Structure 1
């Protein structure tokens, strides 16, 4: 399926969700994530700071930040930088997303797990982002376990990919956990 069509369909479905449905979905998905082997073994985890239409990461980060080392991305030009999470050191940056401030940029090689936001995923771990390629560029240089999280309707049958697209190793929705085998 073409990426623009996927973006349009998923946006329409997200608009129909109630606040309670959003909250329950996030609770369900992150309960699965926090009990996964990948999460239990990882200490240095790159999360995303959720936008209003994404599964909220805020409660999850707050619950675990004193037991795991969390990092958040910050836009720098056309790339993402990785900085340590500190609730008191966030400000609104590019695209009106809360981002970490400071100069303590972390090397992506030191990150063990990345929770990757996307508009949609398929059963092969392919993903559709928002169209700017920030995560594709970041993920291309990482050996970390990549986990995609989303609502059930964000899991689609098949995504048309391009050579620069970087997928995920695991996809978690309210009803599905898909482990991708033999990723390229």
Structure 2
């Protein structure tokens, strides 16, 4: 299966999930992330703000803030790169034309991930080797190219697959957080 077909199939399956299933999944993912030692010890975490169709990151972000963990979130730039902003839970969010919630605030620069203890990224699927299937624009592959901190993708349990289509430039992850638990790449 090629990436285009895999994305279409995975997005179709996501659209079939109910609101209560999504809420339950987001809460379970948060509990698993917050119990993971690398996250529990973190001082700064990069984490995306989820779109409605994605596994929810709201409970995890709230948990990070409650523990005093600094959270930085991505801001998409016109050149298909990501900048980063410190998340103020009280700051208003705007939704981009791509449907991505973004806060306002001082930009930290594209190199902000260097100061993170863990980087939490979206994915449509992750395979048992850590290959991550994204939406195809390459924002995260570019942003993660120089990251040395552990990278954790967030997926629904059925999106952890034996294999996903990938290319040499695709950046792999070391973990996948699902409602069923944390999968660590061997």
Give the TM-score taking structure 2 as reference length: 0.90
Match of residue 82 from structure 1: 84
Match of residue 36 from structure 1: 36
**Residues 10, 153 of structure 1: 8 Å contact kept:** no
**Residues 25, 151 of structure 1: 8 Å contact kept:** yes
**Offset at 1:5?**
2.0
Match of residue 95 from structure 1: 98
Give the TM-score taking structure 1 as reference length: 0.91
Distance 2:29 2:106 in 1: 32
The 5 A counterparts of 1:152-163 are 152-163=157-168
**Offset at 1:173?**
1.6
Aligned residue-pair number: 181
Distance 1:89 1:17 in 2: 28
CA pair 94-138 structure 1, distance change in 2 beyond 3 A: farther
Offset from partner CA, 1:80-100 (integer Å, 9 cap, x none): 011100131532235131213
The 5 A counterparts of 1:1-184 are 1-66=1-66, 67-77=68-78, 78-87=80-89, 88-106=91-109, 107-181=112-186
Q: Which runs of 5+ in 1 are unaligned?
A: none
Distance 1:8 1:33 in 2: 27
Q: Which runs of 5+ in 2 are unaligned?
A: none
Distance 1:176 1:111 in 2: 22
